[in-house]
Amino acid sequence: MKQLLFPFLAFLISMPLGAQSTDSAMILAADKMDVLENAPEKVHNEIIKVNLFPMIGGRLVLNYELGLPSKRNRSSLVFGVESFGTFPVTQFKMNQPKGYAASMAYRKYLSKPGPQVLDGSFVQLSGSLGFVNFVEERSVLVSPGKYMTVEERMNNPHATVFVGLGKQFVLYKRFSLEYMFGVGAYLTSNDISKEFAYSISPQNTPTVFGFWNYEDTPVALTCGIKMGYVFGGFLN
């Protein structure tokens, strides 16, 4: 009789403990679900992108955008590197344009904050430094009434400042599409309009430089369409 009684008592004693442990496990699981639901969302705030327009003129332009964490406004820094003459273009084969440029911009997003911090309309201020060298043919007077065509490699160091307006779309949280128009100033140490009529210049070949320059003025216009990959992130 005692052999049957002791296991039965042990079973009765263990029942509330088991129920209590089960209830505790359910409470802990519910608490974990609440923590996960109320946890701050990780928002992607970095983009690597390529500008599609410059490829027409043989240039490769890469940008890196870094969103700045702020609860009051949405802004970012955009860094860029540019390589001239990267892709062969039949139109400019004779001139062989080569060169590099670096740029930096501050971007302020204007639209209301959404689920993605780098999505929406924006205004930005940007500046760049670069140079382009190219082969130019020009006529040289060798004797009265006689000219000779010579090839000379010219160099065009330049600086630009632009104010741009545009909009960026973040698609599926991982891809970006952007368009932008800008107006600004183009400065160079070479006078391309007086001494020589260069065939390679922002006025004659804007696709080579990435902007169009209006005659003898420093006024310049630019535009671009960029595609990118979104990554990184901080707690929103």
User: Which band of pLDDT confidence, cut at 50, 70 and 90, is reported for residue 23?
Assistant: low
Query: Are the beta carbons of 47 and 62 closer than 8 angstroms?
Result: no
pLDDT at 35 over 50: no
Of the pLDDT bands very low, low, confident and very high (cuts 50, 70, 90), residue 69 is confident
Sign for the pseudo-dihedral over CA of 113, 117, 122, 127: positive
Half-sphere exposure of 17 (CA within 13 A, CB side): 5
Largest CA distance in the chain: 137
Per-residue pLDDT tens over the stretch 95-136: 778 899 999 999 999 977 677 789 999 999 999 999 888 877
Cα–Cα distances (Å) from 110 to 120, 175, 182, 225, in that order, read 7, 20, 16, 19
What pLDDT does 24 receive? 59
The pLDDT score that the predictor gives to residue 112 is 75
Domains and CATH numbers, the chain: 40-235 (2.40.160.20)
Round to whole Å and give the CA distance between 153 and 200: 11
| Average per-residue pLDDT for the chain | 79
| Short-list 103, 224, 77, CA closest to 164 | 224
DSSP 91: G
Tokens for 164, please give them: 């741009």
Question: Is 86's pLDDT higher than 90?
Answer: no
Is the pLDDT reported for residue 151 higher than 90? Answer: no
Cα–Cα distance for residue pair 36/166, rounded to 1 Å? 36
pLDDT score of 5: 52
Cβ atoms 230, 117 nearer than 8 A: no
